[in-house]
Structure 1
Amino acid sequence: MVLLSLVASHSNLDLETVARLSEGASQVASRVLEDEVPVKGAVVLSTCNRYEIYVEAESHQDVHIARDAVVSHVASATGLDISEVTSALQTKVNDDAVAHLFSVGAGLDSAVIGEREIAGQVRRALIEAQAGGTASGSLIRLFQTASRTAKDVGTKTSLGSRGLSVVSVALDLAADLDEREWREKNVVVFGTGAYAGATMALLKELGVTNISVFSQTGRAETFVETRGGVALDAMSLGPALLNADVLVGCSGGGQQISGADLANNERTHPLVVVDLALSHDFDPNIDALDGVHLISLESVRMAAPAETADAVRSARQIVDEATQEFAVSLRERSADSAIVALRKHTMSVLEEELNKVRAQHGCTAAAEEVEFAMRRMVKQLLHVPTVRGRELAAQGRADEYAQAIETLYGITVEDKSSVASSPASSSTGAECPVDHRLLG
């Protein structure tokens, strides 16, 4: 088993390219698994400034096949040329993929270092993959460990205490452009997703009471039921725009607010437009209008405060330790197939001998004592090879262990899914009223 990630983010691409990769690519995970390729699972992590796909391939030889399958489906979903997608998506394998996700979840790879919103997005990515049936066991463990690592960074370093986020930095910039109190402002929020929810919560903390929400999907009514505010529809959006002091775009639904939509607004105060949508809720040229100020994700990235070196160093140490622990556990699991094969072989031999005892002595106390002793002996004999197998796997030598098992015992090490059921679990002694499997 091999973990790999294909990464496109603000760290290596412009946000326009990231947005193009994200469009229509949400179903890539399921489509890859539908192909006849050696891929066991896939999880998509898509945020306002990154598009990443995590995949579990069956072996190192299958990494290129898995990557090509993902690239092909991203290109098909977005309409981009395969060469463009190939050059845009960076590939990270095993330890590098693990370290990257843990850094992302901890906010160390964010435009705003230490932001806490990304941790929630990592959790939701896994939940969505599980709901869609695309998350393999290894990917579930990877994302769950990433969430725990993010929590450790948040509680053990000063990064978690500052409460910074893309939304908070954007609203700070908005406040600088219009020095009136927030409670005096009319705000319109576009979208009903995670960023919209975070925006609503922060606006309430700032004292804003007049908040309206618009969603092209028609979910605004449900959204405001639990968060407050007024739901807008297509008819009421126009008047709300004319009375707005701040517009916050968190939707990215494809339909942009243009300069013409705001041209008739006779403003006595600046109109601040905050566009947090990767694919833009507002025409990027909208700030050409008099009195309109546009804050984009690029603006937020440039304005994000630098964190102290000590806090970042502590956070990276936590991430590095978590990465090493997970990498060791990942390598240890690579010996599972060989260990299961050895156990299957040994228990098969044991059951043959026990059947002879049962046939000769029946269900007597003496037979039970013999069976107990034989099971205890086999358990002791398997202990050292099992421990040694995991130690070798942790050193990256699982293949050597599997080869030794095949050479010494003449057994074939198969995929563990095909050897999970051993003869020890069969009911060979069903005619006897004593369950011999429970002995020892």
Structure 2
Amino acid sequence: MVFLSLVASHSDIDLETVAQLSAGASQVASSVLETSAPLNGIVVLSTCNRYEVYCEASGPGEIEAARSAVISQISSASGLSEHVVGCALATKTGQDTVEHLFNVGAGLDSAVIGEREIAGQLRRALIEAQEKRTASGSLVRLFQTASRTAKEVGTRTELGSRGLSIVSVALDLASDLSVSAGWAEKNIVVFGTGAYAGATMALLRERGAHRVGVYSSSGRAETFVSTRGGSAVDEEQLQDALSHADVIIGCSGGDRRLMAADVASLDRAGRPLIAVDLALTHDFDPAFEDLDNVDLITLESVRMAAPVEQAMALRQARQIVQDAATDFAQEQRQRSADAAIVALRKHTQSVLESEVEKVRAQHGCTAAADEVEFAMRRMMRQLLHVPTVRGRELAAEGRTDDYVAALETLYGIQVQAPRAVPAQTPPACPVGEPAAPLREVG
């Protein structure tokens, strides 16, 4: 077993390409596992800044075949050529995959360093994979450990106390651009009803905003505002709401985009408008930048404006992540050795029971038969002692694969990989817009 990840993020490629790769993200894992790819499990992490696929390949020799299968399915889902997909996705394997995921979950690879929302998306990605039965046992442990590590970074370092996020930085930028009164006096329209929009509403409340309308092309606005505040805006009310808005915030990423021409045609009497587009696939026409009295804030704007964290806090956070990744790797090696040792014991136990049956058939339930069985079992325990100890020693050295290969060569024993693990509890996240990239904030 070996971990494999294919990674595309804001730090390597443009967000438009990330958005294209994310198309059909929810179907990729199931589609790959339906093929003959040498994979035991897949978890897909699709966010506003990244698209990442985490896999458990059957072994080191299967990495290239597994990678090709994943790229092929992403190509089919996104409409991009396999060459483009392959160039866009960086490949990580083994411990590099573990360390990368732990850094992502802790917010150390985010546009806003230390942001906390990505940890929630990690949990939701795992829950979705468990529900679809695409997550192997090893991947479940990997993601659960990443979540625990993220929590530890949040509680033990100053990064967690900052409370920064993509949304908070975007709202800070909007505040800097506004020359009017505070958030309490602003008319705001939020597009979308997913997790992104929920986080936006929570932060708007913290800043004193109370004149907030919520529009959803899917018709979920009424249900959304009943638990998060604000007022629902329907199709008939949208134009009037936009005419009086001071700030509009895009969190939906749906098929409908608000065009510059639509805003230009509104009777706003020269009123300034701040448009905050937090949707990876853009809720607002990029041509907003060319409109008079309109300021456009995008995810790229947020990334450029994100504050630099203190060096001490970053060093502490990275050390926590590194220690957790090292401990996880050691635990995984031990688990692999344990599985191989169990397989060896089952094999020898099967042979022993077969021989004991022969003794019983020949001698019956006699004292002699009992003595023979006792001797055979004692001999088997002694024979297993050295292979068991050696298996754990090799695991500590990171050579479990050598041990497994020896068992297969000498005894024909096949060490089975963990099977997919279904979710134990249903997800408790809010219903979002249908667009896949917006299952995450940050």
Q: Give the TM-score normalised by structure 1.
A: 0.88
The alpha-carbon deviation at position 131 of structure 1 amounts to 1.1
Taking the aligned partners of 1:103 and 1:247, their CA distance within structure 2 comes to 32
Taking the aligned partners of 1:5 and 1:320, their CA distance within structure 2 comes to 18
- Among 293, 296, 299, which residue is 1:297 paired with? 299
Corresponding residue SS for 2:285 = coil
Work out whether 1:53 is the aligned partner of 2:53.
Answer: yes
Q: Does structure 2 conserve the Cα–Cα contact (< 8 Å) formed by 1:188 and 1:246?
A: yes
Q: Does structure 1 conserve the Cα–Cα contact (< 8 Å) formed by 2:347 and 2:413?
A: no
**Residues 8-38 of structure 1: CA distance to partner in whole angstroms, max 9, x if unpaired?**
1111001111111112332111110111111
Alignment of 1:188-267 (within 5 A): 188-263=189-264, 264-267=266-269
The alpha-carbon deviation at position 337 of structure 1 amounts to 5.0
Q: Does structure 1 conserve the Cα–Cα contact (< 8 Å) formed by 2:25 and 2:46?
A: no
Q: Does structure 2 conserve the Cα–Cα contact (< 8 Å) formed by 1:333 and 1:390?
A: no
Task: Flag the 1:406–1:66 CA change in 2: closer, same or farther, 3 A.
Answer: closer
Over the matched positions of the two proteins, sequence identity in percent amounts to 65
What's 1:13 paired with? 13
Greater shift, 105-114 or 56-65, is seen at 56-65
Task: Flag the 1:375–1:226 CA change in 2: closer, same or farther, 3 A.
Answer: farther
What's 1:328 paired with? 330
**Residues 202-234 of structure 1: CA distance to partner in whole angstroms, max 9, x if unpaired?**
011111112111222222222222111212222
What's 1:67 paired with? 67
Q: Does structure 2 conserve the Cα–Cα contact (< 8 Å) formed by 1:7 and 1:90?
A: yes
Taking the aligned partners of 1:303 and 1:211, their CA distance within structure 2 comes to 25
Report the residue type matching 2:336 in the other structure. Answer: S
Unaligned ranges ≥5, structure 2: 419-442
What's 2:426 paired with? none
**Residues 74-128 of structure 1: CA distance to partner in whole angstroms, max 9, x if unpaired?**
1111111211111000000011111111000000000000000111111111111
Corresponding residue SS for 1:6 = strand
Report the residue type matching 1:60 in the other structure. Answer: P
**Residues 45-92 of structure 1: CA distance to partner in whole angstroms, max 9, x if unpaired?**
011111111111111111111111111111111111211111000000
Report the residue type matching 1:396 in the other structure. Answer: G
What's 2:284 paired with? 282
What's 1:169 paired with? 169
Q: Does structure 1 conserve the Cα–Cα contact (< 8 Å) formed by 2:404 and 2:415?
A: no
Alignment of 1:118-133 (within 5 A): 118-133=118-133
Task: Flag the 1:194–1:267 CA change in 2: closer, same or farther, 3 A.
Answer: farther
Taking the aligned partners of 1:329 and 1:381, their CA distance within structure 2 comes to 26
Report the residue type matching 1:326 in the other structure. Answer: F
Q: Does structure 1 conserve the Cα–Cα contact (< 8 Å) formed by 2:40 and 2:417?
A: no
- Among 391, 394, 406, which residue is 1:392 paired with? 394
The structure whose Rg is larger is 1
What's 2:272 paired with? 270
The alpha-carbon deviation at position 358 of structure 1 amounts to 6.0
Taking the aligned partners of 2:374 and 2:173, their CA distance within structure 1 comes to 74
Task: Flag the 1:155–1:376 CA change in 2: closer, same or farther, 3 A.
Answer: farther
Task: Flag the 1:121–1:267 CA change in 2: closer, same or farther, 3 A.
Answer: farther
Higher relative contact order by CA 8 Å / sep ≥ 6: 1 or 2? 2
Task: Flag the 1:227–1:349 CA change in 2: closer, same or farther, 3 A.
Answer: same
Taking the aligned partners of 1:399 and 1:175, their CA distance within structure 2 comes to 56
**Residues 379-426 of structure 1: CA distance to partner in whole angstroms, max 9, x if unpaired?**
57645533431330232322432354467xx411213269xxxxxxxx
Work out whether 1:43 is the aligned partner of 2:60.
Answer: no
Corresponding residue SS for 2:308 = coil
Task: Flag the 1:287–1:389 CA change in 2: closer, same or farther, 3 A.
Answer: same
Alignment of 1:361-380 (within 5 A): 362=365
Report the residue type matching 1:101 in the other structure. Answer: L
Q: Does structure 2 conserve the Cα–Cα contact (< 8 Å) formed by 1:115 and 1:165?
A: yes
Taking the aligned partners of 2:161 and 2:378, their CA distance within structure 1 comes to 54
Count of aligned pairs between the two proteins: 415
Report the residue type matching 2:111 in the other structure. Answer: A
What's 1:413 paired with? 413
Report the residue type matching 2:133 in the other structure. Answer: G
The alpha-carbon deviation at position 346 of structure 1 amounts to 2.1
The alpha-carbon deviation at position 355 of structure 1 amounts to 3.9
The alpha-carbon deviation at position 274 of structure 1 amounts to 0.5
What's 1:139 paired with? 139
Task: Flag the 1:209–1:37 CA change in 2: closer, same or farther, 3 A.
Answer: same
What's 2:23 paired with? 23
Unaligned ranges ≥5, structure 1: 419-440
Q: Give the TM-score normalised by structure 2.
A: 0.87
Taking the aligned partners of 2:324 and 2:287, their CA distance within structure 1 comes to 44
Q: Does structure 2 conserve the Cα–Cα contact (< 8 Å) formed by 1:185 and 1:208?
A: yes
The alpha-carbon deviation at position 174 of structure 1 amounts to 0.6
Report the residue type matching 1:6 in the other structure. Answer: L
Taking the aligned partners of 1:112 and 1:310, their CA distance within structure 2 comes to 17
What's 1:108 paired with? 108
Taking the aligned partners of 1:17 and 1:417, their CA distance within structure 2 comes to 34
**Residues 154-211 of structure 1: CA distance to partner in whole angstroms, max 9, x if unpaired?**
0111100000000000001111111411111111111122211110110111111121
Taking the aligned partners of 1:269 and 1:384, their CA distance within structure 2 comes to 81
Corresponding residue SS for 1:285 = helix
Report the residue type matching 2:341 in the other structure. Answer: I
Corresponding residue SS for 1:328 = helix
Q: Does structure 2 conserve the Cα–Cα contact (< 8 Å) formed by 1:259 and 1:283?
A: yes
